Amino acid sequence: MRLDKFLKITRVIKRRTVAKELADNGNISVNGEEKKSSYSVKKGDVLDIKYFNKNIKVRIKELPPENLKKDFIDEFIEIVN
């Protein structure tokens, strides 16, 4: 699953276009390396996101299905700070 799509489905970032722009501008790193929006995320990846004036760190537990209800987000990601 693409990085920008993952961030939108898990509601870390509300819009895919915003996630794409952040990644393509170097504001998202995966396991310590800057990645573009087209990067395929994997189970176990740690995302470090610079979003406005805050940093969000997310660990991927599992890859979610295409449609994900808000109540089940915690099964797929863990916020690490």
Q: Which helix (H) or strand (E) holds 41?
A: none
Topology at the third CATH level for domain 3-79: 3.10.290
Q: Which residues pair with 51 in a beta bridge?
A: 54
Identity (one letter) of the amino acid at 49?
A: I
Mean pLDDT over 20-49 rounds to 96
Residue-wise pLDDT for 37-50, tens only, equals 999 999 999 999 99
28-60 burial code (b ≥16 CB/10 A, e <16): bbbeeeebebebebeeebebbbeeeeeebebeb
All structural domains of the chain with their residue ranges: 3-79
Identity (one letter) of the amino acid at 36?
A: K
Structure pTM?
0.92
